[in-house]
């Protein structure tokens, strides 16, 4: 029953929010739905995952557990920020914003349960359509351009994913199975799949869902979408929706492992991961827009996720753990940068400076978020990124490991130049004369997110470690 509540709570909350006429009271539906969802997810996690011998299209596997729990925690923290944010934007109707936000949450919660490659494609396409209006919330010419670019590029990516799905289905044409497109059945019969069609399907699916993740060079939608949307939406896209796309890729990678193509698959993942990190490092070096720089940070971390998978079981553990750290860290950065933007009325480091002396709490959180997301101790990303580095050298990928370390240092320098300028530069007056001040409602959720990142850096709860280990075993059993 709990697994159905996980889907139904945000789904019906979306309709409830649409039906409420008051802008002020509608906003409170979001945290109420998030709290109910988190409670249902925690209850669901209490019982061990039991994979049925008979493949089903609706079932939560160990990989899905990680993504579902991270999405639920991320959305709950962001939902606490939502009423205050919308209260400050009372001049703008929020009916569509709240409804689409909850609908996106429902779809992201549905993805971890779907075991049919065709149905999961439909859900991923639906996430694109439901998140498009969120990007356009500010109703500016640049936000509508960003929304259209997001819809067009992600739709092209999803179309390629559909082509890859057809290729995968054709590779299974000889299977004597009534449900050949269920992930468990494809894993079970992977050695019978036609290898050329399977490899072609993997490459096309990697490009298709990689576009949704925003790995380079498939990231063209990210700078505009992340730069023009609100901090809440940026956090959900960077920490939630990209994780769902990563989950789909993991299930496809599991099929490749089962087919005996682990070495070939991992080689492609390592190349794509390093390429994504390289693009991020290059474009960060001269970026003055402190919200757009978060998009390139996301490009880097998507590269880290798939790079870790390519380094074997230890790297896979680090990548799965990094899903959590990336989600929490991006939320800290997006929400705190949103507060800074609201105070100064600008996103450019050339006109935003000395934030630590004017809105000290948000500026401090933005700085700490930068320190955390770039892999500095004692925060969670340091542990997951160091685990991936160890895995690289353990698997004797010395060149890739050295380049990984070099690119992380380059990203630290490039991102740090902009962040430090915004936080510690010469004090300037707000462009629009805004008198926004930090409050408990606007910084409290960010503090909570940062505390979670700190806890994950010094102590990994045994329950979360067990979930991560189960997911690694689940992937490696297919080898």
Over residues 155-169, the pLDDT tens digits come to 999 999 999 999 999
| pLDDT single digits (tens) 267-288 | 999 999 999 999 999 998 878 8
Task: Examine the pLDDT at 246 and tell me if it is beyond 70.
Answer: yes
Is 437 a domain residue?
yes
Asked if residues 180 and 169 have their Cβ atoms less than 8 Å apart, the reply is yes
Is 363 a domain residue?
yes
Residue 50 is predicted with a pLDDT of 59
Residue 140 is predicted with a pLDDT of 84
| pLDDT single digits (tens) 56-76 | 788 899 999 999 999 999 999
Work out the mean pLDDT of the chain and round it to a whole number: 90
pTM score, two decimals? 0.95
Task: Examine the pLDDT at 47 and tell me if it is beyond 80.
Answer: no
Is 129 a domain residue?
no
CB neighbour list of residue 398: distance below 8 Å, 6 or more residues apart = 392
Distance CA 248, CA 64 (A): 10
pLDDT tier at 360, thresholds 50, 70, 90:
very high
Is 292 a domain residue?
yes
Is 5 a domain residue?
no
CB neighbour list of residue 33: distance below 8 Å, 6 or more residues apart = 9, 10, 13, 79, 102, 105
Task: Examine the pLDDT at 356 and tell me if it is beyond 70.
Answer: yes
Is 63 a domain residue?
no
Residue 431 is predicted with a pLDDT of 63
Residue 331 is predicted with a pLDDT of 96
Task: Examine the pLDDT at 176 and tell me if it is beyond 80.
Answer: no
How many structural domains comprise the chain? 1
Buried b (16+ CB within 10 A) or exposed e, 67-87: bbbbbbbbbbbbbbbbbbbbe
Query: In terms of pLDDT, which residue wins out, 411 or 349?
Result: 411
Domain hosting 189: range is: 134-476
Is 459 a domain residue?
yes
Residue 353 is predicted with a pLDDT of 86
Is 25 a domain residue?
no
Mean pLDDT, rounded, for 132-140: 89
Task: Examine the pLDDT at 265 and tell me if it is beyond 70.
Answer: yes
Exposed/middle/buried for 399, CB within 10 Å: 0-12, 13-18, 19+? Answer: exposed
| pLDDT single digits (tens) 193-235 | 889 999 999 999 999 999 999 998 888 899 889 988 889 999 9
């Amino acid at each position: 029953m709990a697994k159905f509540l996980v889907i139904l709570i945000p789904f019906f909350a979306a309709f409830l929010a649409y039906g409420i006429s008051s802008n002020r009271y509608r906003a409170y539906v979001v945290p109420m739905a998030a709290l109910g969802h988190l409670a249902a997810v925690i209850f669901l996690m209490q019982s061990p995952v039991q994979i049925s011998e008979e493949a089903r299209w609706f079932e939560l596997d160990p990989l899905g557990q990680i993504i579902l729990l991270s999405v639920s925690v991320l959305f709950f923290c962001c939902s606490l920020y939502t009423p205050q944010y919308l209260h400050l934007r009372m001049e703008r109707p929020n009916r569509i914003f709240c409804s689409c936000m909850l609908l996106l949450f429902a779809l992201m919660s549905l993805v971890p349960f779907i075991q049919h490659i065709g149905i999961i494609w439909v859900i991923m396409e639906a996430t694109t359509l439901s998140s498009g209006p969120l990007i356009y919330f500010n109703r500016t010419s640049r936000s509508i351009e960003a929304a259209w670019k997001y819809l067009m590029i992600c739709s092209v990516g999803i179309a390629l994913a559909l082509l890859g799905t057809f290729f995968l289905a054709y590779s299974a044409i000889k299977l004597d199975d009534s449900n050949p497109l269920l992930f468990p059945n494809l894993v079970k019969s992977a050695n019978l799949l036609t290898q050329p069609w399977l490899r072609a399907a993997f490459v096309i699916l990697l490009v298709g869902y990689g576009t949704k993740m925003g790995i380079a060079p498939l990231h063209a939608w990210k700078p505009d979408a992340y730069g023009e949307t609100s901090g809440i939406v940026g956090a959900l896209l960077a920490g939630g929706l990209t994780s769902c796309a990563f989950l789909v890729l993991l299930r496809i990678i599991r099929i490749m492992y089962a087919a005996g193509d682990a070495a070939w698959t991992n080689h492609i993942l390592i190349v794509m991961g390093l390429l994504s990190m390289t693009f991020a490092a290059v474009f960060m070096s001269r970026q003055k827009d402190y919200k757009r720089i978060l998009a390139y940070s996301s490009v880097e971390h998507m590269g880290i996720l798939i790079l870790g998978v390519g380094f074997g079981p230890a790297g896979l553990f680090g990548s799965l753990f990094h899903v959590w750290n990336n989600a929490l860290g991006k939320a800290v950065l997006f929400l705190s940068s949103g507060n800074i933007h609201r105070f100064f009325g600008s996103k450019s480091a050339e006109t935003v400076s000395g934030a630590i002396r004017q809105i000290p709490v948000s500026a401090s959180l933005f700085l700490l978020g930068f320190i955390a997301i770039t892999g500095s101790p004692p925060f969670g990303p340091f542990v997951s990124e160091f685990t991936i580095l160890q895995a690289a050298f353990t698997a004797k990928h010395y060149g890739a490991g050295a380049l990984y370390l070099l690119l992380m240092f380059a990203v630290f320098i490039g991102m740090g130049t902009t962040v430090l300028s915004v936080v510690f530069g010469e004090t300037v007056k707000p462009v629009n004369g805004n008198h926004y001040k930090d409050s408990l409602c606007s910084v409290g959720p960010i503090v909570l997110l940062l505390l979670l990142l700190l806890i994950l850096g010094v102590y990994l709860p045994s329950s979360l470690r067990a979930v991560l280990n189960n997911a690694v075993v689940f992937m490696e059993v297919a080898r």
